[in-house]
């Protein structure tokens, strides 16, 4: 077998249509040795090739249940890391483009979280008083940090269960990297907004006083999703004037005002299921990534449902868009040749600690 690497440069100039044919041929040659995972936010011309679709954690769990040697994750970096952590040792996780990252995940890195932990020690013993909780949209080393310090991982689906578990063990939570998911979840738990304070990692002591830290129930990391921050309360108010009988559904990564004005708030899976279960002829305004909104708009059009995107401007996950037909075809053809490209491998010690935090989450939820 020829194991020399096929360079990506040969795929750059290829038209999307040509790549589609090569992807199909490579998948046929690989058979059950490879499984392609497609996140909900993935572009349509890549998503259609996925064997399994869903949100990031669901996909990683499903992939680990397959006999596939290769897990080709059409998503972003942290998702492929979770796939590597949860899969069997002999399985190999691959990200077609290593530049497919997550701007939210990048807003909380290990050095800043460790600094926050040290600063909290000036006021209280965080190991006794604070549970670190990281959103699954974060790097593996942050999941490992949580595993090592009695913390846990959460998703947009189970965030409330996770926060209830965390606050039952210790009196405070350090929640990163998305402040909006943390705030909305705390609000649903009747935690006053005054007891959920933003921790700014670029300011000494997070920009808070010792008294504020002592009285806070949840310390919210100053981070956000660049896609979901585009949605604003005015978008909903304007739409309701035009469609008073319509329904609004948003992802909890949206800001607090958008979530409060929405009829429903939930994960990508929740959004899909809620629209699917609605009556024929229903009109929806949806606050989440454009590829997903377009997909469900087409899917439910035959039922007379009108599904509209919340923002007036195009708002896609730009890093997710990096996984294109060219990168997917390149990764698959290299596998056919017996060459693994762009493997995502979490260091063993880090993976072990991250697995502790993930297993805690799975046990709680």
Query: For the domain that residue 293 is a member of, what is the CATH number?
Result: 3.40.50.10800
Q: 167-204, pLDDT tens digit by residue? A: 999 999 999 999 999 999 999 999 999 999 999 999 99
- 266 shares a domain with 173: no
Whether residue 122 has pLDDT greater than 50: yes
The CATH number of the domain where 138 resides is what?
3.40.50
CA distance readout (Å), 58 to 211, 268, 269, 293: 40, 11, 10, 19
Asked whether residue 150 falls in the same domain as residue 128, the answer is yes
Same domain for 205 and 271, yes or no, is no
Q: Give domain status of residue 359, yes or no.
A: no
Please count the other Cβ atoms lying within 10 Å of the Cβ belonging to residue 250.
26
- Are 191 and 150 in contact, with CB atoms under 8 Å apart? no
Calculate mean pLDDT across residues 51-57.
Answer: 87
Q: How far apart are CA 34 and CA 66, in angstroms?
A: 9
The tokens for 112 are: 């800043």
Give yes or no: residues 131 and 181 share one domain.
yes
- What average pLDDT does the segment 290-302 reach? 95
- Does 3 reside within a domain? no
Residue 365 inside a domain? The answer is no
pLDDT category at 64 given cuts 50, 70, 90 is: confident
d(CA 331, CA 316): 23
In a domain, 352, yes or no: no
Query: 341 and 269, same structural domain?
Result: no
The answer to whether position 314 is within a domain reads: no
Cis peptide before 177 (omega within 30 of 0): yes
Asked if residue 88 has pLDDT above 70, the reply is: yes
Q: Which two tokens stand for residue 204?
A: 């000494």
**2, pLDDT greater than 70:** no
* pLDDT category of residue 227 using cuts at 50, 70 and 90: confident
% the chain with pLDDT above 90: 84
For residue 190, give both structure tokens. Answer: 């009747």
pLDDT band at residue 128 under the 50/70/90 scheme: very high
Print the domain residue range for 28.
8-101+319-346
Same domain, yes or no: 232 and 275 = yes
Shared-domain flag, residues 39 and 86: yes
Residues 88, 139 within the same domain:
no
Of 110, 103, 101, give the one whose Cα is nearest residue 77. 101
Share of the chain above pLDDT 70, in %: 97
Has residue 269 been placed in a domain?
yes
pLDDT at 61: 84
Residue 33 lies in a domain: yes
Is 0.85 topped by the overall pTM? Answer: yes
pLDDT top residue among 212 and 42: 212
pLDDT score recorded for residue 318 = 64
Looking at residue 343, what DSSP letter applies? B
pLDDT in tens, 299-346: 999 999 999 999 887 666 666 678 999 999 999 999 999 999 999 999
Residues 268 and 157 in one domain: no
167 and 233 in a single domain? The answer is no
Reported in sequence order, the residue ranges of 207-353 that DSSP labels E, i.e. its strands, are 218-221, 247-250, 264-265, 283-287, 306-309
Half-sphere exposure of 190 (CA within 13 A, CB side): 0
Last residue of a domain, one of 169, 201, 226: 226
Q: Residues, the chain, total?
A: 365
Q: How many domains does the chain have?
A: 3
Residue 351 inside a domain? The answer is no
pLDDT above 80: residue 209: yes
**258 with 279, same domain?**
yes
CA-wise closest residue to 342 among 73, 52, 86, 22: 73
User: Where is pLDDT greater, at 247 or 365?
Assistant: 247
Neighbour tally for 153: CB within 10 Å: 29
The pLDDT-based confidence of 1 (bands split at 50, 70, 90) is very low
- Mean per-residue pLDDT of the chain: 94
33 and 117 in a single domain? The answer is no
pLDDT at 3 over 70: no
Which of 209, 226, 243 corresponds to the end of one domain?
Answer: 226
């Amino acid at each position: 077998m020829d194991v020399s690497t096929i360079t990506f440069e040969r795929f750059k100039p290829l038209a999307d249509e040509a790549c589609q044919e090569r992807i199909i041929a490579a998948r046929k040659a690989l058979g059950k040795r490879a499984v392609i995972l497609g996140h909900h936010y993935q572009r349509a011309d890549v998503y259609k090739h996925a064997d399994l679709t869903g949100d990031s954690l669901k996909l990683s769990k499903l992939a680990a249940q397959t006999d596939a040697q290769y897990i080709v994750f059409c998503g972003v970096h942290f998702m492929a890391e979770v796939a590597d952590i949860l899969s069997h040792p002999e399985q190999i996780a691959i990200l077609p483009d290593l530049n497919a990252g997550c701007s939210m995940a990048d807003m909380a890195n290990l050095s800043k979280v460790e600094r926050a932990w040290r600063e909290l020690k000036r006021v209280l013993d965080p190991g006794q008083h604070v549970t670190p909780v990281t959103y699954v949209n974060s790097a593996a080393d942050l999941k490992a940090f949580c595993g090592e310090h009695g913390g846990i991982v959460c998703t947009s689906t189970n965030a409330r269960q996770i926060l209830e578990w965390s606050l039952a063990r210790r009196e405070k939570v350090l929640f990163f990297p998305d402040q909006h998911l943390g705030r909305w979840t705390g609000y649903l738990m009747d935690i006053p907004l005054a007891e959920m304070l933003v921790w700014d990692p670029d300011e000494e002591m997070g920009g808070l006083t010792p008294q504020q830290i002592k009285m806070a129930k949840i310390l919210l990391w100053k981070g956000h999703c660049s896609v979901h921050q585009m949605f604003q309360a005015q978008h909903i108010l304007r739409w309701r004037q035009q469609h008073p009988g319509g329904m609004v559904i948003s992802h909890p990564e949206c800001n607090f005002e958008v979530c409060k004005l929405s009829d429903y708030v939930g994960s990508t899976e929740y959004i899909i299921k809620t629209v699917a279960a609605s009556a024929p002829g229903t009109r929806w305004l949806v606050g989440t990534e454009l590829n997903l909104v377009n997909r469900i708009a087409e899917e439910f059009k035959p039922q007379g449902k009108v599904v509209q995107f919340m923002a007036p401007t195009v708002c896609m996950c730009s890093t997710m868009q990096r996984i294109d037909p060219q990168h997917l075809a390149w990764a698959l053809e290299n596998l056919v040749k017996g060459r693994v490209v762009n493997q995502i491998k979490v260091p063993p010690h880090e993976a072990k600690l991250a697995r502790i935090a993930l297993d805690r989450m799975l046990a709680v939820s």
